[in-house]
């Protein structure tokens, strides 16, 4: 499929602009996405470090509080003093421990409770009256799991606090007082408000898809999002326990941090879809800019392209008109550039071509006319030569009456052959019939009784134009080359004219000796018989047919040696 040059330029412009903007946008997007990724990872590490710092401060304060408590000699004396039968003394001793522990609790806003469990099974707390509760409290699963650990943090669990349950996690320290001969271990339990962890993660949780905090024992302390999908959770777990600080796949990034004490580790999950959500919006906006840029470019470039290609289109249309023969075509281009030079050159070319064709047509017509004149000039001497020989023969034979008849026939033929212009090229079939009849009179005088001429012509065809002097040479060939050399006493020549569809067929057939039809060209000559004169060949007739009736006119010969010859002329029928 052909494309116009204007379409090609517009399409090329749109393609170049589109590819340029799209490729630049792609590289910018890819570059910006990598920058955002690195910056987000950096910011996330900073946030995790801040969280770790706050958690480490909590851990350090809890550990220091525990150290102060277990190293306090007064508390140790009160807790490990031998039991007495005096209930009042025991009560005041517990009250003293309660007051001591209460002071440590008061120093921190996130420590809710402190419990000391010596080997004798009693419990001491900063809250009095809860001995039975704490006895059961220290039988819960979270504490049982921690009994074999020297120190560490438990998993979150409920704690009854001021007539209500609160979520806490506990720091458990297994110890033996200094200077005491006790072989069994004591336990210090410090209950820490779970909300303190939530507050630490509260501000940063919205920046991550998920944040998880694990103790050194692998217990989950905190998970910011309870609706995490299975693949995300598995990826986080693999990254967290692999010991690597960074893990990434096509959909997510996991950052880990272990800057806290007691083996605590935290992991943050970043979703790439959310991470690049903002830049994706920018990318979509950039797509709109690209489309707008293409439209704007076309709006600006279209008038320029139209003005640029308009002379080319005019030049193309002019060339098409010249191609179909309109040599009067000319164009006027005033673009002030190479196209104007091209238009002027085209006009000069058309003028030169027109002049050349006119000269060529005139030369060709002159050449054709000279050829026809030469062909016709061959006929007249031929007639005169043969006919005058006959007249001479009749005069010597004292047959003056026949000589007069032959001379009159010759005069009638010459009157037809001296015509000029179109009449010298074509003639009605009736005129050709009259010439053939007169020629037959001359030949009957020369060869009395040797042939008979028969006409099979529809009177409706007598007005049809045919080549002048086309039938007479064929009849002459039939007499001189067909019948006279044969052994027949009297031969027959039949001249026919009939319609064949859109064509007119003229035919001369004889029953003479026949001939061998040449494979290429027409070189048969009338004068190749006994008379040895230069004759008029079939090529003469064929050339005149082609010249005056076009390629549709043709000459056909069918001959059988010993049986006769049939020569047919096919002409485009007129009328």
Over residues 49-88, the pLDDT tens digits come to 888 898 899 889 999 999 988 888 888 888 887 777 777 7
557 Rama class: left (phi>0) / alpha (psi -120 to 50) / beta = beta
pLDDT at position 523 is 40
pLDDT reported for residue 535? 42
More confident residue, 227 or 142: 142
The rounded distance, in Å, linking the Cα atoms of 571 and 549 is 7
Which helix (H) or strand (E) is 56 found in, with range? helix 5-71
More confident site: 158 or 3: 158
Write out the H or E segment, with its range, that includes residue 153. strand 151-153
pLDDT at residue 364, rounded to an integer: 73
Cα separation of 377 and 147, whole Å? 143
What mean pLDDT, rounded, does the chain reach?
80
pLDDT band at 135 (very low <50, low <70, confident <90, very high): confident
Please give the pLDDT value at position 534.
36
Closest alpha carbon to 16 in 290, 306, 310: 290
pTM for this structure? 0.50
Does residue 507 sit in helix, strand or coil?
A: strand
Percent of the chain with pLDDT over 90: 11
Is residue 216's pLDDT more than 60?
A: yes
Q: Which of 508, 416, 431 is closest to 465 using CA atoms? A: 431
């Amino acid at each position: 499929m052909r494309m116009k040059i204007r379409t090609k330029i517009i399409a090329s412009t749109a393609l170049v602009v589109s590819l340029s903007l799209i490729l630049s946008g792609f590289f910018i997007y890819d570059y910006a996405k990598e920058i955002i990724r690195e910056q987000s990872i950096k910011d996330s590490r900073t946030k995790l470090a801040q969280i770790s710092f706050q958690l480490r401060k909590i851990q350090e304060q809890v550990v220091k509080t525990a150290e102060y408590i277990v190293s306090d000699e007064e508390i140790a004396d009160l807790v490990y003093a031998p039991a007495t039968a005096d209930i009042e003394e025991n009560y005041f001793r517990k009250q003293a421990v309660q007051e001591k522990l209460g002071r440590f609790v008061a120093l921190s806003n996130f420590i809710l409770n402190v419990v000391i469990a010596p080997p004798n099974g009693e419990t001491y707390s900063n809250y009095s009256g809860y001995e039975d509760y704490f006895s059961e409290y220290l039988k819960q699963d979270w504490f049982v799991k921690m009994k074999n650990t020297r120190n560490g943090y438990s998993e979150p669990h409920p704690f009854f606090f001021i007539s209500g349950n609160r979520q806490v996690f506990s720091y458990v320290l297994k110890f033996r007082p200094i200077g005491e001969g006790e072989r069994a271990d004591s336990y210090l339990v410090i209950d820490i408000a779970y909300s303190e962890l939530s507050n630490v993660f509260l501000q940063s949780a919205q920046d991550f898809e998920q944040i998880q905090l694990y103790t050194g024992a692998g217990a989950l302390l905190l998970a910011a999002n309870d609706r995490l999908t299975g693949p995300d959770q598995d990826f986080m777990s693999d990254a967290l326990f692999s010991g690597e600080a960074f893990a990434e796949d096509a959909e997510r990034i996991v950052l880990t941090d272990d800057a806290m004490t007691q083996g605590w580790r935290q992991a943050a999950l970043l979703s790439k879809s959310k991470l690049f959500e903002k830049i994706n919006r920018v990318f979509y906006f950039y797509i709109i800019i690209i489309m707008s840029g293409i439209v704007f470019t076309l709006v600006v470039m279209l008038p320029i392209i139209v003005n640029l290609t308009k002379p080319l289109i005019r030049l193309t249309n002019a060339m098409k008109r010249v191609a179909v023969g309109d040599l009067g075509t000319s164009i006027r281009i005033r673009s002030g550039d190479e196209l104007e030079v091209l238009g002027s050159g085209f006009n000069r070319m058309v003028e030169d071509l027109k002049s050349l064709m006119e000269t060529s047509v005139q030369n060709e017509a002159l050449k054709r006319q000279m050829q026809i004149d030469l062909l016709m000039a061959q006929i007249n001497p031929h007639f005169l030569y043969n006919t005058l020989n006959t007249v001479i023969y009749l005069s010597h034979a004292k047959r003056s009456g026949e000589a007069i008849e032959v001379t009159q026939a010759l005069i009638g033929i010459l009157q037809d052959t001296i015509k000029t212009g179109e009449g010298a090229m074509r003639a009605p079939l009736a005129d050709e019939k009259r010439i053939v009849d007169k020629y037959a009179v001359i030949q009957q005088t020369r060869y009395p009784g040797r042939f008979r001429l028969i006409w099979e012509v529809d009177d409706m065809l007598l007005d049809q134009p045919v080549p002048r002097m086309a039938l007479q040479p064929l009849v002459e060939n039939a007499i001189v080359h067909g019948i006279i050399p044969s052994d027949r006493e009297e031969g027959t020549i039949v001249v026919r004219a009939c319609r064949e569809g859109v064509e007119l067929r003229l035919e001369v057939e004889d029953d003479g000796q026949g001939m061998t039809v040449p494979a290429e060209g027409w070189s048969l000559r009338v004068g190749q018989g006994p008379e040895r004169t230069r004759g008029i060949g079939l090529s003469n007739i064929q050339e005149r047919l082609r010249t005056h009736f076009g390629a549709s006119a043709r000459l056909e010969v069918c001959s059988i040696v010993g049986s006769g010859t049939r020569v047919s002329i096919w002409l485009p029928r007129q009328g």
